[in-house]
Structure 1
Amino acid sequence: MTAAVRTRRFLRGPGVLAGGTVLVLLFLLAFVGPHVCGWTYSEIDYTALRSGPSAEHWWGTNRIGQDVFAQTARGLQKSLVIGLLVAFFATGVAALVGACAGYFGGWADRILMFLVDLLLVFPAFLIIAIVSPRLKSGGWLAFVGLLAVFGWMITARVVRSMTLSLKEREFVRAAVYMGVGPFRVIWRHVLPNIASFLIIDATIAVGGAVMSETALSYFGFGVQPPDISLGTLIANNTAAALSYPWMFFFAAGLLVLFVLAVNLVGDGLRDALDPTARTKRAKRRKDHR
């Protein structure tokens, strides 16, 4: 299937246009919004405490007079950066570990899969909650590392299974017979043939990473003050959800929109890169009924 056909299939997917448009608008809000609103996320307006949306403060202010639009844009920016980095590193580690385990087999496979099983047994949320406060000196990058460490194991198992199948294919065997090194075979022949799965997985992993970051930050284990993220904004303003709804629902609404948009785009990528995906989902729905 050519790139043009895949692109057309992707753009024709239900919800892809809506999801892609929402993602573009959210990225513009996160990275352009802070430069156009006239307020910084830490700036305080002592004349407007808990004031509603107005021409001066587009989305109102919080309890100490900080602009909600500027704060939400900054929080969204931080959450998006964390989600993208976690998805990138986790998918990269999963691809490397899974491909090496499937290709080399033997003791390498046993050791790598033992590591995967060991990490799957650990309660990731609890460990991150315990370790994260002790890594404050590392800032939010240390938090990204923690999320990435516990976010690649399932993908690695799938990559291993796909590699076991690929290494028996003629083009891989031919490369081996020609004396091509194992890591070069993995890089040039194995990984390109599972790239579609990795792209889909990384896309959906961004939404999962943002949700994980939000949950951990909500309980105080993620992004630490004075920095902010969607999780810290939601946590700080939960009590005001009914009395001052603009302080809570803008951040919460953007989080929901982002996750829904990522899932729509992920479904579109799955249909474009895996022509059988839509048929499989329809069959599962039919069997479920």
Structure 2
Amino acid sequence: MTVTVMPDMATGTSRATLRRNFWRGVWRVLCRKPSRMAGVIIVLGFAVMGVIGPLVYPANLPRDDNALYASPSLQHPFGTDFEGTDVLALVVTGARYVLLTGLATALITVALGTLIGLFAGFRRGGWDSALMRLTDLNLAIPGLPLLLVLSTVWKFTSPLEMGLVLGLLGWGGVARAVRSQTLSLRERGFIEAARGLGLPTRHIIGRELLPSMAPYIAMNMLIAVTGAVYAQVGLFFLGVLPFDANNWGVMLNLAVFSGGALTTPSALPYLLAPLLAILLLTLGIVLIVDAMDEIFNPRLREE
């Protein structure tokens, strides 16, 4: 008796097998170096902090006037600030704003940059010229002066608002890089074959070019998160934006300019806690990017 395998069923099975093999390879790459697994744990820890932290702590954190700049202890692992508020609670509750802003910025930056870069590099001609002039205009916009003007009418109380502005200001570099990759890939044999078959542009870009560039895009997205974290923390630290939301940049500003952290040793934990959080988050992302480089580049895989 002959068993006939339907083409759709065979295709679905092969795709499922490829997915399983891919995730097994990801697990092997992560386990090969403990530092990479540490990076995943660090980033997941911050993600959990951003999701659960505001649910654990009340909206208005309690203050203790009798414990101003209290030393680190079991009750206050990082001490208290100049108002007697637990520093660890401030770091945890401020993580959501920072992480959501970073994620929103990365999504907008990568989505716009990838879309414009892919389309410009594939179509070339007039479309390429027009989109690249738009990209040059985006790269020429002075971000800090623009944010200074916007801060007079926009309070940026929502991380999505901040992410939207940073994303709209930061997609130009990704668009330029993706366009360069697209110009290289469009001359490859599999793209020429797809065009020879008369496949529509949407299919070629979405099914042929985009998967080939997925590793590069994913790495740019992670790097965009770190850039967004530095940008927003720096803006709040400089006092460019109003302090309507608690986050690590606000903590740094208050510690330096209001809390005397640079002159008072007891105030140092209030300054060092957000700095440590930023350092750990950056380290976790860098370690994951290192793993992704090996996952998507077979030449770097160790035997």
What does residue range 237-252 of structure 1 map to in structure 2 within 5 Å? 237-238=255-256, 239-241=260-262, 242-252=265-275
C-alpha separation in 2, matches of 1:204 and 1:71: 25
Matched, 1:31 2:51: yes
Matched positions, count: 277
Task: Select 1:134's aligned residue among 144, 153, 173.
Answer: 153
Match of 1:173 in 2: 192
Q: Spell out the pairing of 1:141-220 with structure 2 (5 A cutoff).
A: 141-220=160-239
Per-residue CA shift, 1:50-102, capped at 9, x if unaligned? 32334443433222222222111111221111111111110111110000000
Partner residue of 2:106 out of 82, 87, 90: 87
Q: In 1, are the aligned partners of 2:100 and 2:159 still within 8 Å (CA)?
A: no
Letter in 2 for 1:170: G
- Which residue does the alignment assign to 1:16? 36
Measure how far apart 1:251 and its partner are.
Answer: 1.0
1:273 matched residue in structure 2: 296
Contact 1:50 1:65 in 2 (8 A): yes
Q: Which has the larger radius of gyration?
A: 2
CA contact (8 A) 2:215 2:296 kept: yes
Distance 1:6 1:68, change over 3 A: closer
Decide whether the 8 Å contact of 1:6 with 1:273 is kept in 2. Answer: no
Structure 1 residue 138: Cα displacement: 7.0
Which residues of structure 2 form unaligned runs of 5+?
1-17
What is the TM-score with the length of structure 2 in the denominator?
0.81
The letter for the 1-side match of 2:45 is L
User: Out of 196, 218, 228, which is 2:246 matched to?
Assistant: 228
Hey, what does 2:14 align to over in structure 1? none
* Structure-1 separation of matches of 2:157 and 2:116: 26
Distance 2:194 2:218 in 1: 25
1:66 equivalent in alignment to 2:85: yes
Q: Go from structure 1 to structure 2 and tell me whether the alpha carbon gap of 1:162 and 1:277 turns closer, same or farther (over 3 Å shift).
A: farther
Which runs of 5 or more structure 1 residues have no equivalent in the other structure?
A: 280-289
Shift of 1:133: 3.5
Cα RMSD after superposing both structures = 2.5
Shift of 1:131: 2.3
1:183 Cα deviation after fit: 2.2
Q: Which amino acid aligns with 1:208?
A: G
1:34, CA displacement in angstroms?
4.2
Matched letter for residue 5 of structure 1: G
Opposite residue 195 of structure 1, the aligned amino acid is: A
Question: CA offset at residue 203 of structure 1?
Answer: 1.2
